[in-house]
Structures are given as structure tokens and as C-alpha cells.
A and B are shown apart, each in its own frame.
Chain A
Amino acid sequence: MINHPILTDNDPQKDTITLNLGPTHPATHGVFQNILEMDGERIVSGVSTIGYIHRAFEKIAEHRPFYQITPLTDRMNYCSSPINNMGWHMTVEKLLNIQTPKRVDYLRVIVMELARISDHLICNGILGVDTGAFSGFLYLMEEREHIYEIYEEICGARLTTNIGRIGGFERDFNDIAFAKIKQFLVKFPPILKEFETLFNRNRIFIERTSGVAAVDPEVALNYSWSGPILRATGVDYDVRVNEPYSSYEDFDFEIPVGTKGDVYDRYIVRNEEMWQSLRIIQQALDKIEKEPKGVFHADVPEFYLPPKEEVYNNMEALIYHFKIVMGEIETPKTEVYHAVEGGNGELGFYLVNDGGRSPYRLHFRRPSFINYQMYAPMSAGMLLSDAILNMSSLNVIAGELDA
């Protein structure tokens, strides 16, 4: 890389221009703004302003019962919404001390890993588009359509899925869903392999991304980074391994870890995570074969709506239905923090409950928000095109940034 001449203070040519890398990006990344001071092509300093899609999730959550907060969590990281849903359900189950049966855990693992693949597909595809390579993105979007079809079989929606209920799922996965998942496991690996052959050893891609925005692990930990970008710097912190939830300890998978933390490492870590997710889904399918059939929710009549046939015919079911909907159920007055491994990092839910039907305070620990604060200090001294790739590899989802 050629070093751009740094002009001294006395030079009459020294003048920085203010560039507004404004809220309306070319579609992909989302609405956040960076006001950059540029010296030619090089960024001298930058200020990030966010909040252009602040929808006050935490305030809304104080006014909604527990089961109505699930659609809210969907819209945080909308590229991998099942992970948010499952994380919220697990937080409430931790609060209420509900044990889910193993089959429910394995079904949840399948859905969460599909969501993780879906999130990484968008991130890597868009990283390709930002370097100028559009075709890889089109191949990957087609694969995302297959994942959407699997979600449709399970819950009926494509993107903002609202999958699952407190205690399990609303209905069992039918045979078509399992068939589609098995077909996905067969059809997707060749496409991912083809995508890798397009990018991994591509001279132009390596020149654009290798060495760009390298980060030290100490600095990354100081800025509270988490997720694939932290693993690319060399720290192997993964919530699925440190504090296993939903029976992740029964699965055999590796955590890919990078060395330099630059954009190329982040890309490779995400690709490798997709391969590991495929491994986990295959193991989950095998494990489900061994579990008793037809179990898709825990036995908690106080929080899981009974089936409608029973509500219309059975007195107990009617009473439970009434109590759940009208909020007459007692919940413990305590606080709980639960973290899951989202597509971008540690997604945490801090729930303070006062015994009623809505939380007293619900706070989302959003990885995109915390990862993004390092962007402005990091981009000082970079070329503009490198800064764009840096932003794209951080995978900042605007819905999660502003919540």
C-alpha cells in the first residue's frame, strides 16, 4: 500500500473536507451516519451518530405481557430473528424455572443454527458486493430463500418469524419441514464451496481485505466486542461453549478463531462458522431420531396456551387460557440475565420482574450497538474504501443498533 503524504500544519494545501457518510446508505447496511473529516482519500477523524431508527423497544416491553414481547425481539436483529426469539423464551424460562425436554432443545438448536447461517450469508454476500463482486451475493440469496421456506413450514412467516412459545414450540415440525431441512443439508454445501472458490483465494479480494482494520485482542476486549469479530482477533469466547444453553453441551463442534482480526479473518471465521453450523444441524437431526416422538413443548399449563379443542371442552384448560390471557398468573419478583450467542455476538436479556404480567424493566444487551462504538476511533487513518469494508464486515444491523 502506498503511503499517502501527510501534510504538515504549515502547508497551505492542508485542508480537511467534511464528508457525510449519511443515513441513506446504498441499501444494504442500514441507517447510521458517520461524519468524517477527510484529507483527500484518507480519513482523519470521524463521529458516528445513530438513532435514526430508534423504536423504543425497551419502553414498549414494559407495557406488553411476556408472550407479546417475542414479536418485538424479532425486529432487533432481523436477519436472524429466530435466535432473538429463542433467547427471549429461554430468559423467561430461566425466570420461571421451566425445564424444556431434550427434543425441544434440539429443535431449538436446529432453528438457531439455520438463523446463524442466514445471518452470515447476508454478511459475507454483502462484503463481496462491497468489493465489487455481485454474483456471489445472488447465489447466497437463493440459499436464503430455502431457509425461508423451512421457516415457513415451521411457523408460517419468512423473516420476522415469532417462532416458538414460552416452553417450546406452538406445533411440532411436520414431515415436510424435516424433509426440507435434510434437503438443505445436501444442497447447500456445494453452493458454499462454490462461493468459497470465488472468494477465498481471489487475488483482488485478498488485496482488498487482508491487513485492513486489524485489531489487537486486548483492544477488542477493552471495547467489549463479542461474536465472530472478536473470534477473528484470536479470543475464543463463544457463549454456546462458556455457558451452554439449550443442550449445546451435547453437541460436538469447534469454534473457528482467527489471528489478525482483519476483514479477511472475519470473513473466513464467518464461513467456517457456517460449516460448523451445518455439522450441528446434522447432529441435531440424528439426536432427534432417538428422542420420543411428538414432544414439542414443556408441561407448563400456566404459561403455555392449551390447544383450542381442550379449551372448548375442558374446564381446566379454559381456566388456564383465561388466566394466561388476562395475566392472572403470579411470576417471581426477581431479576435474571441470560445471554445467547447471536449472529453478531453476545445477545443478552436483562429482565427485572415485579410479579405482574409485563416486565418491570427489560434491557437488551445488543452486540451490534457495543461492537459499533469502536468504528469511529478505528477508522482514523484509514482510506475511505477500507473504512467501508470495515463497516460491512462488522455486520452492524440497524434494528439491533438502535432498538
Chain B
Amino acid sequence: MSEVNIVEAPPGIEGSGFFATSMEKVVGLARSHSLWPLPFATSCCGIEFMATMGSHYDFARFGSERPSFSPRQADLLMVMGTIAKKMGPVLKQVYVQMAEPRWVIAVGACASSGGIFDTYSVMQGIDEIIPVDVYVPGCPPRPEAIIDGFTKIQELVRNESLRRRESPEYKELLSRYGIQ
């Protein structure tokens, strides 16, 4: 037998030929292990992401074998690097084009809060324009830190309720950013 580890089945009622569990858990399980990221790499953190995708740290083993550069087919927007005010509308456009369910991870100090660049031309954190789920601090964060952030996103995805994206709280969150 091979040494491949398979993820544990969610709790449910088992019998001969059937397995009953809740839809949310199955869908969460499947989604969390097949997230397709959109690497929005602008600066130095992008190079650390390239190192994470390389064979030493191997990001693909988490299910992100296909980094999608088209927002329509991506699940996870990974913003890596400084976002300047000139780039802000572009980032918002890319976020709006993504289909639900979508998650956002802000990798690095510059994406989380502007980093060391407290200047007139740098946006002090991408959460001024889009809602963020996980922040990964570091300048640049080590590949282990990026993977840790990704694992937290997987936690969020696994436990997310199926109705969350239609709920009034979520709609209110989006309207605060001006996104319909």
C-alpha cells in the first residue's frame, strides 16, 4: 500500500453502501483542498511566492496545482506586495470579477497595512478597498508563513456555511466597500 495520506472523512452516519453527513461538510472538505489561487504579485513578496511554488516548498500539494490568472476561475485572491494608489482601482476590478465564493489573503506587510512605505503614493493596506480574510505579516514572509496563512484559509473554507454568501451580513460587508 502507498504512503499517501488521505484526509479524514467528516463525522456522519455510515452503513453498508451509504454515508450520510451534512452537505456543508462535504462541500467544505472538497473546496478547501482544491483552492485555485490568483497570484496578484506586485513586488518582493511575489518572489517569495515563486519560491513557495517551487519544488522546495511545493505549494501545489495543497491543491493549488493551477494558479489561475483569470479572475473568473479563481477562488483565492492572494495579494502579494505593495499596492500603490494607482493600482487600487485595478485590484478592485480584479476582485469584482471573481465569482463567489471568493476569499482574499493579504500576504506581506505592504498588503496588510502599507508596510514600511508610509508615503503619499502607497495605499495603507488593501482592506481600504476590498474585504480581507487572512493577513500574513512579514517583509517578506517566509514560505512557511505563506503556507501557514494558506492553511488558515483552508480552515475558513472548510467551516464556511453554504448560505453565507447570500446572508445580509455579507451583503452589508460588501456594501461598506462599495461592491454590489
Contacts and interface: CB of A to CB of B under 8 A. Distances in A.
Interface string A381-403: 00000000000000000110010
Nearest to A33: B90
A27 B48 CA distance: 12
B116 A53 contact: no
Nearest to A79: B47
A336 B24 CA distance: 65
Interface string A16-33: 000000111011101100
Interface stretch (A54-62, A163-171, A214-222, A235-243): A54-62
Contacts of B56: 141-142, 145
- Among B43, B50, B117, B120, max chain A CB count under 10 A is at B43
B27 interface: no
A160 interface: yes
A159 B43 CA distance: 11
Q: How large is the interface on A (under 10, 10 to 19, 20 to 34, 35 or more residues)?
A: 20 to 34
B44 A399 contact: yes
Nearest to A60: B119
Given A53-B81, A59-B119, A158-B142, A141 B51 contact: yes
B149 interface: no
B54 A141 contact: yes
Q: How large is the interface on B (under 10, 10 to 19, 20 to 34, 35 or more residues)?
A: 20 to 34
B55 to A, nearest CB: 5
A158 B48 contact: yes
A24 B117 contact: no
Contact of A55 (B90, B94, B122): B122
Nearest to A146: B56
B44 A75 contact: yes
Interface string A138-171: 1001101100100000000011100000000000
Contacts of A30: 42-43, 46
A71 interface: yes
Contacts of A52: 42, 84, 86-87, 90
A159 B140 contact: yes
Given A55-B117, A159-B48, A160-B140, A23 B87 contact: yes
Contact of B84 (A53, A60, A78, A122): A53
B43 A78 contact: yes
A75 B45 CA distance: 10
Contacts of A23: 87, 90
Contacts of A144: 51, 54
A50 to B, nearest CB: 9
B86 A60 contact: no
A271 B166 CA distance: 55
Contacts of B46: 27, 30
A53 B90 contact: no
B44 to A, nearest CB: 4
Interface in B68-82: 69, 81-82
Nearest to B142: A158
B65 to A, nearest CB: 13
A212 B44 CA distance: 29
Contact of B41 (A27, A51, A159): A27
A163 B33 CA distance: 39
A138 B56 CA distance: 9
A71 B47 CA distance: 17
A55 B87 CA distance: 12
Contact of A24 (B44, B69, B82): B69
Interface of B: 39-44, 46-51, 54-56, 67, 69, 81-82, 84, 86-87, 90, 94, 116-117, 119-122, 139-140, 142
26 contacts: A22-B90, A24-B90, A24-B94, A26-B69, A27-B50, A27-B67, A30-B42, A30-B43, A51-B86, A52-B84, A53-B84, A54-B84, A54-B121, A55-B119, A60-B117, A72-B116, A122-B47, A141-B51, A141-B56, A142-B54, A158-B51, A159-B47, A159-B48, A160-B139, A398-B42, A402-B84
